[in-house]
Amino acid sequence: MPELPENEAQRLTIERECLNRTIEKVELGDDTSYIELPGDNERQRLVGHQFTQTRRHGKNIFAGSKTGPWMTVHLGMTGWLIPFDAPDDPPDHTKLLITFEGDRRLAFRCPRKLGHVRIIDDPDGYIENEGLGPDALDLARDGFIATFGNTRSAIKSALMKQDKMAGVGNLWSDETLFQAGLHPERRANDLSEDCLADLRTTMRRVLHQGVKVEADYKELPHDYLIRHREKGAECRRCGGEITSAKVGGRTAYFCSSHQK
């Protein structure tokens, strides 16, 4: 599922390709019964407007203007925003298609469930109403320690709770704990304040690296877990072995040697 770095790459795509273009049409694609998309009246709110700015909070992408309305997109498991120019056809599995004045188009491609597109008045109100925690790159040191130091669950599960901190999911929690040398099943409230502070520093470094390469995993450092995230692979940090386990219902990958 796309997380903070992937969503930031998508935000940048909209910023580069779709700003300051008047919207002429917003249409549904085919086979949309399983996915939440805006109805006719909501889609019509965008027509005649332009996206003049973008935002991201956690796994949520926002495109709109100072006075609104805004479109918010959650990519779900397999969603992706794809700009293209007519006369090219939309990609397969397009669930929403925005036609801008001229040739530019923006398709929301989503082969599987869980993604959604909504039309909202403003991002701040939406973030509050959804009960999202602070963005993972905005959560201050003391806030991080207070949030996770009082959490009894496994540290991997805690990092993925979007109401505590928005943006980190299965992939990047694994990478953060791999780089920090922490076992994913360690209880969060058993970690010292210094350990939690170091974990936050590691998380920020890892996420910034993911953002820097726009979530192109081939461009990540060779010793990153993402580059060899499979059971039985050699750990490129210590020579140990990558293994897996269910933690909070999700499959965690980690090094059996250096993550304690």
List, for residues 202-255, the tens digit of each pLDDT value: 999 999 999 999 999 999 999 999 999 999 999 999 999 999 999 999 999 999
Each domain of the chain, given as residue ranges in start order, spans 4-129, 141-255
Q: What is the CATH number of domain 4-129?
A: 3.20.190.10
- Predicted TM-score of the model (pTM): 0.96
CATH top-level class for 141-255?
Answer: mainly alpha
Whole-number Å distance between alpha carbons of 166 and 3: 9
Residue 33: pLDDT over 90: no
Residue 114: pLDDT over 90: no
pLDDT at residue 21 in the model? 98
Mean pLDDT across 127-144: 98
Q: Which two tokens stand for residue 83?
A: 């700009």
Mean pLDDT across 15-24: 98
Whole-number Å distance between alpha carbons of 108 and 26: 11
List, for residues 145-168, the tens digit of each pLDDT value: 999 999 999 999 999 999 999 999
Bridge partner list, 54? 63
**Rounded mean pLDDT of the chain?**
97
Q: Which two tokens stand for residue 19?
A: 């700003």
